[in-house]
């Protein structure tokens, strides 16, 4: 017990506010009440007495919390007995930062010796337990939804977060989800995580030698579907690799040349510690308690049929099975199951743009970028140059591209590339999208949305095809602008009178969008456009990279202004110094599609119970 009491005391001491005014009469009532936990310190110096009172208080908090645990969280794991006292120490430390606001002080005596008391209400502990349990239930419910949607990465992350919080609460093993058919949450979550991991299949499709390394392209499936946002790494016998993020089922690993592919195994990354910044309770639990190992997270890689990549040969993707056959000299309209349309270029039309994309393919594959300058406009070249220097940019495999008409331009999808940041041990997979003008030159480059997000928008049959294409184009350009640090572009799309709101911790610096899940602990801070852009400039300057993932997008059109749309998006934000998950809302005017204007931008760390549907949306603003 003693080995973690000092740590608790230090954390409590660091966050205490100035002493509150407590009268002797009030103090008598507090001392005689069973509703308080009290620590006492006596010393010649006031600071020493305060420190002793904190140590005494932290010991009593520790004893109180430990006595409420009716089970031992880690009796046996993988055949190894874990130190229960050490586990309890981590749990206590995870509470300390949360209880600071409830700690008060009473100075009973000053000279010749100071007598100081530190105290807090026992209800603070109960409220803390309840908060964690409710948050665990929320994430478990969301994980179940993500699982049914096939979003394997999000499901693993939220199941594990729920498990981590449950294991930090007394009687956490007795909690059940509302309406659940028997069984407690902890074994249920263990079962669901193991089941998800058991349905993940990984196949190596091709490999390529680069000096003393080999790059292996992976096809990652959840059942028969591409695994979405799946994070993984491998162990080379000495240390774990960078964390890789697959996109729409495509990923890679970079191995030492001597590693035998037949023995390669990947480790599913389900803790997602960067994103855990979303909530202080979760962040503290993850930092202070031991991770939960899952043997099923060690995944074999099927290397049968893995071919050595000798060169890259671009192919044009075949239209989907729902396509309406047309003569090869005319455009064909691809229909999805909901009847939404997307204009595919015919083979003859695509042939005019194919040489440009084939040249880019070879230039990227062999990193001969200078030879590509003639295939870009000035603006397109500026964006492409930033993209290939964004990270250690590599072409994953021979692209199977498609060409669609996008108003006056042609869009080429999808160019699979990986971007790694060795200083931060993170590798992202992106589908790069190229926009070409009538001269067959690239005028814009963007990171594509996930296929599910694209389909989400293109399936809106009640909107015109142009409106759907503009929406996809805007979202891809918007998220890429942050990655490539296009400050001028972002500045141009915000109205000078834009309403910009961020949810932030009351004591936050204002430079990062951090916030706890319980919205009563959050203040919504309104910023002017100038304030937001100045903050963004500092953010760009201080980060090696920024990467944004969009998911769960909900798009609604205004009933009174048909060119105004509200977009609600779940946003996973990664940078070299910070990562989190939250909800973004944009209110955008597309009256002039070539120059969209953002009138409102809000960010919130979690659903707000005081807002309809929990998320800020178009109905919350007067147009």
Closest by CA to 143, choosing from 94, 195, 96, 182, is 195
Interval 526-546: pLDDT, tens:
788 898 899 899 988 888 888
Band the pLDDT of 275: cuts 50, 70, 90: confident
Which of 68-72, 84-88, 220-224, 331-335 holds the top average pLDDT? 220-224
pLDDT the model gives residue 509: 28
pLDDT the model gives residue 514: 28
Sign of CA dihedral 266, 271, 272, 273: negative
Q: How far apart, in whole angstroms, are the C-alpha atoms of residue 73 and residue 76?
A: 9
Decide which of 84 and 196 is more confident: 196
Closest by CA to 89, choosing from 116, 125, 63, is 63
| Number of other CB atoms surrounding residue 318 within 10 Å | 10
Closest by CA to 374, choosing from 386, 362, 391, 359, is 359
| Number of other CB atoms surrounding residue 605 within 10 Å | 25
Which of 183-187, 259-263, 551-555, 565-569 holds the top average pLDDT? 565-569
Share of the chain above pLDDT 70, in %: 78
pLDDT the model gives residue 254: 87
CATH number at 311-448: 3.10.450
Q: How far is CA 101 from CA 55, 125, 284, 327, 393, in A?
A: 17, 12, 16, 71, 47
pLDDT the model gives residue 301: 93
**Is it true that 311-448 and 467-623 share their CATH fold?**
yes
**pLDDT of 36 over the 50 cut:** yes
pLDDT the model gives residue 193: 93
Q: How far apart, in whole angstroms, are the C-alpha atoms of residue 163 and residue 133?
A: 10
pLDDT the model gives residue 356: 94
CATH number at 2-126: 3.10.28.20
Band the pLDDT of 327: cuts 50, 70, 90: very low
Interval 146-174: pLDDT, tens:
888 888 888 999 999 999 888 887 766 66
DSSP characters for 284-320?
HHHHHSPPPP-GGGEEEEE-TTPEEP-----EEPPPP
| Number of other CB atoms surrounding residue 31 within 10 Å | 13
pLDDT the model gives residue 445: 93
Composition of the chain by helix, strand, coil, percent to 5: 40, 30, 30
Q: How far apart, in whole angstroms, are the C-alpha atoms of residue 135 and residue 130?
A: 9
Strand partners for 420: 392, 427
Interval 208-223: pLDDT, tens:
887 788 889 999 999 9
DSSP SS3 for 174: helix
Share of the chain above pLDDT 90, in %: 20
Q: Give domain limits for the chain.
A: 2-126, 311-448, 467-623
Which of 21-25, 357-361, 394-398 holds the top average pLDDT? 357-361
Sign of CA dihedral 323, 324, 327, 332: negative
Which of 234-238, 246-250, 372-376 holds the top average pLDDT? 372-376
- 467-623 is classed in which CATH architecture? Roll (3.10)
DSSP SS3 for 577: coil
Band the pLDDT of 290: cuts 50, 70, 90: confident
pLDDT the model gives residue 116: 93
| Number of other CB atoms surrounding residue 13 within 10 Å | 19
Residues in CB range of 299: below 8 A, 6 or more apart: 197, 200, 202, 232, 265, 266, 267, 268
Closest by CA to 311, choosing from 397, 378, 233, 228, is 397
């Amino acid at each position: 017990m003693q080995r973690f009491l000092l740590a608790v005391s230090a954390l409590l001491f660091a966050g205490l506010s100035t002493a509150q005014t407590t009268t002797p009469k009030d103090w008598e009532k507090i001392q005689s009440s069973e509703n308080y936990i009290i620590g006492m310190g006596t010393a010649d110096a006031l600071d020493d007495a305060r420190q002793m009172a904190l140590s005494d208080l932290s010991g009593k908090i520790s004893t109180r919390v430990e006595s409420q645990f009716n089970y031992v969280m880690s009796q046996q794991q993988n055949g190894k007995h874990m130190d229960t006292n050490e586990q309890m120490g981590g749990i206590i430390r995870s509470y300390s930062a949360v209880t600071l606001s409830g700690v008060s002080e009473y100075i009973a005596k000053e000279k010749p010796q100071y007598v100081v008391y530190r105290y807090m209400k026992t209800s603070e502990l109960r409220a803390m337990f309840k908060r964690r349990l409710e948050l665990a239930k929320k994430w478990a419910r969301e994980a179940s939804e993500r699982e049914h949607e096939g979003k394997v990465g999000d499901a693993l992350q939220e199941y594990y977060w729920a498990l981590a919080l449950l294991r930090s609460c007394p009687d956490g093993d007795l909690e059940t989800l509302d309406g659940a058919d028997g069984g407690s949450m902890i074994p249920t979550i263990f079962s669901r995580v193991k089941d998800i991991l058991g349905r993940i299949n990984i196949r190596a499709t091709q490999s390529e030698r680069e000096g003393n390394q080999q790059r292996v392209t992976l096809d990652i499936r959840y059942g028969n579907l591409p695994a979405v946002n799946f994070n993984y790494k491998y162990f080379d016998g000495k240390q774990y690799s960078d964390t890789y993020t697959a996109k729409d089922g495509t990923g890679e690993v970079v191995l030492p040349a001597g590693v035998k592919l037949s023995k390669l195994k990947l480790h599913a990354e389900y803790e997602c510690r960067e994103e855990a910044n979303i909530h202080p309770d979760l962040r503290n639990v993850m930092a202070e308690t031991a991770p939960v190992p899952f043997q099923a997270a060690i995944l074999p890689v099927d290397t049968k049929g893995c071919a050595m990549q000798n060169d890259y040969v671009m192919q044009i993707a075949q239209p989907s099975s729902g396509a309406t056959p047309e003569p090869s000299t005319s455009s064909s309209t691809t229909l999805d199951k909901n009847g939404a349309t997307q204009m595919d270029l015919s083979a003859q039309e695509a042939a005019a743009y194919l040489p440009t994309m084939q040249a880019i393919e070879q230039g990227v594959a062999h990193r001969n970028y200078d030879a590509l300058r003639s295939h870009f406009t000035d603006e397109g070249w500026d964006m492409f140059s930033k993209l290939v220097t964004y990270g250690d940019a590599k072409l994953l495999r021979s692209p199977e591209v498609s060409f669609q008409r996008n108003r006056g331009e042609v869009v080429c999808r999808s160019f699979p590339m990986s971007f790694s940041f060795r200083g931060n041990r993170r590798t992202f997979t992106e589908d790069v999208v190229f926009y070409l003008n009538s001269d067959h030159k690239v005028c814009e480059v963007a990171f594509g949305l996930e296929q599910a997000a694209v389909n989400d928008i293109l399936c809106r049959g009640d909107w015109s095809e142009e409106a759907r294409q503009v929406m996809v184009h805007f979202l891809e350009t918007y998220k890429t602008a942050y990655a490539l640090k296009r400050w001028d572009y972002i500045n141009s799309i915000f109205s000078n009178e834009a309403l910009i709101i961020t949810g932030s911790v009351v004591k936050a610096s204002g430079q990062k969008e951090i916030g706890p899940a319980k919205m009563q602990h959050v203040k919504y801070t309104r910023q002017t456009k100038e304030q937001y852009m100045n903050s963004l400039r500092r953010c760009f300057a201080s980060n090696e990279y920024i990467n944004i993932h969009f998911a769960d997008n909900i798009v609604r059109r205004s009933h009174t202004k048909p060119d105004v749309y509200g977009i609600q998006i779940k946003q996973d934000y990664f940078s070299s110094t910070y990562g989190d998950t939250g909800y973004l809302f944009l209110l955008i005017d597309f009256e002039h599609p070539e120059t969209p204007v953002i009138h409102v931008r809000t960010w919130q760390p979690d659903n707000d119970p005081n807002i309809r549907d929990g998320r800020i949306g178009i109905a919350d603003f007067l147009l």
